[in-house]
Amino acid sequence: MIFLTRKAEFSSSHFYWNDDWSAEENQRIFGKCANRNGHGHNYTLEVTVSREIDPISGFVVDWKE
């Protein structure tokens, strides 16, 4: 069994807010994520695929798929 891992790093901005709550409640629940100008987080995503080597192609994964 072969394991292949692809790692991607990216940044994303967001804004959390519930109009049914007061500004104080939004701040208490969402903290810095309730900033109207948005703010960002950095993410790392890793995806691992495990398969046997295809005896015909020799591929573990056909990346075109």
**CB closest to Zn ion, residue no:** 33
Q: Of 7, 32, 9, 29, give the one whose Cα is nearest residue 18.
A: 29
| 43 neighbors 10 (Cβ within 8 angstroms) | yes
Q: How far is the CB of 45 from Zn ion (least distance, A)?
A: 17
**5 vs 12, beta carbon nearer Zn ion:** 12
Helix (H, G, I), strand (E, B) or coil at 62: coil
- Least distance in angstroms from the C-beta of 39 to Zn ion: 6
Query: At 20, which amino acid appears?
Result: D
| 60 binds Zn ion per the rule CB under 5 A | no
Residues within window 10-49 making contact with Zn ion, judged by CB under 5 A: 33
